């Protein structure tokens, strides 16, 4: 009953929002993420910046209660029912959400980010090349482990394209070397489970001397579990994204490096591009419908400069 009431309340609020914006001749654009993670704060900051430059639109940012394809689909359906004009989404599981994404894409302008759904009715993808990001992580592994090593990977949603492509990129980069990605443990964006996966690996796989966190929160959970076990400095850590714990580890040398994306640009550029599209301008969409925002390797040499820029964009001191 509580879930039904909560859903009804969300729908009512969205319908009220749509009525207000329509009365002001404003269209609503929504950014829907795949789970509650600090990673998305930068994208949210980008959306807020875009709002200052799009006075004729109302921009909303939606976090699902949990990383569930069903919940994310419900949020998008509610937004469509409320009259939004466009949705940008990081799909929880593009392969199982095909019908839902096509239904949404048939009614509003649908863009994907972070994890693409190329077989859906999406207009375009705006985000990283996750394969290239995986290759960059592989480069960090090769540099840090010149004599080889056995690595365990940790990820949230193994079925999502971003996870699969990052893993494939790592494997391609380390192919032919003495480094092996032994396995990848999944956690469905459950923070407790993410740390437990690392703890289980420490206990059951003592030969593992390298750990790779494929999602933003995975590297902090690796760091915490290794610290609790007294193994910081004994296991090589490679990360993705810019969690403060990850950046702190890069700064003090306990984490080799991290491959960062630009979620701020996804939010900022994505909302502006969606508005262009709705206004009839499709010139920014390439033939392959992939708008790639480059990733970057952050190590001890450039972490301070990167962190300063990140804080400025998020309005932090």
Measuring CA to CA, how many Å separate 296 from each of 68, 128, 167, 258? 29, 10, 17, 8
* Ranges of CATH 3.40.50.2300 domains, the chain: 2-127+262-285, 130-260
CATH (one of 3.40.50.12780, 2.40.30.260, 3.40.50.2300, 3.50.50.60) for 130-260: 3.40.50.2300
Question: What sign has the CA pseudo-torsion 83, 86, 90, 94?
Answer: positive
pLDDT tens column, 232-282: 999 999 999 999 999 999 999 999 999 999 999 999 999 999 999 999 999
The candidate with the shortest Cα–Cα distance to 214, out of 149, 167, 256, is: 167
C-alpha to C-alpha distance for 298 and 296, rounded to whole angstroms = 6
Residue 8 has pLDDT above 60, yes or no: no
User: What is the CATH topology of the domain spanning 2-127+262-285?
Assistant: Rossmann fold (3.40.50)
What pLDDT is recorded for position 24?
59
What pLDDT is recorded for position 22?
44
C-alpha to C-alpha distance for 161 and 112, rounded to whole angstroms = 11
pLDDT tens column, 194-247: 999 999 999 999 999 999 999 999 999 999 999 999 999 999 999 999 999 999
pLDDT tens column, 50-108: 999 999 999 999 999 888 999 999 999 999 999 999 999 999 988 899 999 999 999 99
Contact 167, 153 (CB under 8 A): yes
Q: pTM score, two decimals?
A: 0.78
User: Could you give the count of Cα atoms lying within 13 Å of 274 in the half-sphere of its Cβ?
Assistant: 36
């Amino acid at each position: 009953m509580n879930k039904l009431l909560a859903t009804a309340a969300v729908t009512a609020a969205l319908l009220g929002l749509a009525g207000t914006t329509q009365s002001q001749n404003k269209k609503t654009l929504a950014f829907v993420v795949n789970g509650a993670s600090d990673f998305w704060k930068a994208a949210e900051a980008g959306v807020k910046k875009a709002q200052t430059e799009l006075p004729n639109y109302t921009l909303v940012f939606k976090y699902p209660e949990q990383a569930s394809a069903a919940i994310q689909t419900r949020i998008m359906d509610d937004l469509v029912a409320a009259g939004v004009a466009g949705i940008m989404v990081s799909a929880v599981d593009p392969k199982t959400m095909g019908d839902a994404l096509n239904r949404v894409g048939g009614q509003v302008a649908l863009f994907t980010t972070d994890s693409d759904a190329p077989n859906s009715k999406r207009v375009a993808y705006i985000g990283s090349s996750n394969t290239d990001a995986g290759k960059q992580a592989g480069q960090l592994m090769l540099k840090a482990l010149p004599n080889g090593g056995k690595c365990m990977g940790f990820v949230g949603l193994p079925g999502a394209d971003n996870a699969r492509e990052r893993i494939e990129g790592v494997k391609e980069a380390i192919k032919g070397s003495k480094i092996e990605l032994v396995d990848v443990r999944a956690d469905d964006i459950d923070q407790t489970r993410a740390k437990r996966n690392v703890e289980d690996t420490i206990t059951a796989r003592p030969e593992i001397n390298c750990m790779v966190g494929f999602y933003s929160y995975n590297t902090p959970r690796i760091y915490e579990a290794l610290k609790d076990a007294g193994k910081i400095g004994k296991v090589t850590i490679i990360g993705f994204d810019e969690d403060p714990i990850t950046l702190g580890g890069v700064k003090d040398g306990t984490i080799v490096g991290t491959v960062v994306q630009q979620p701020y640009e996804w939010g900022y550029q994505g909302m502006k591009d969606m508005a262009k599209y709705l206004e009839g301008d499709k010139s920014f969409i390439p033939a392959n419908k992939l708008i790639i925002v480059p990733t970057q390797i952050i190590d001890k040499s450039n972490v301070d400069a990167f962190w300063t820029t990140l804080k400025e964009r998020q309005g932090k001191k």
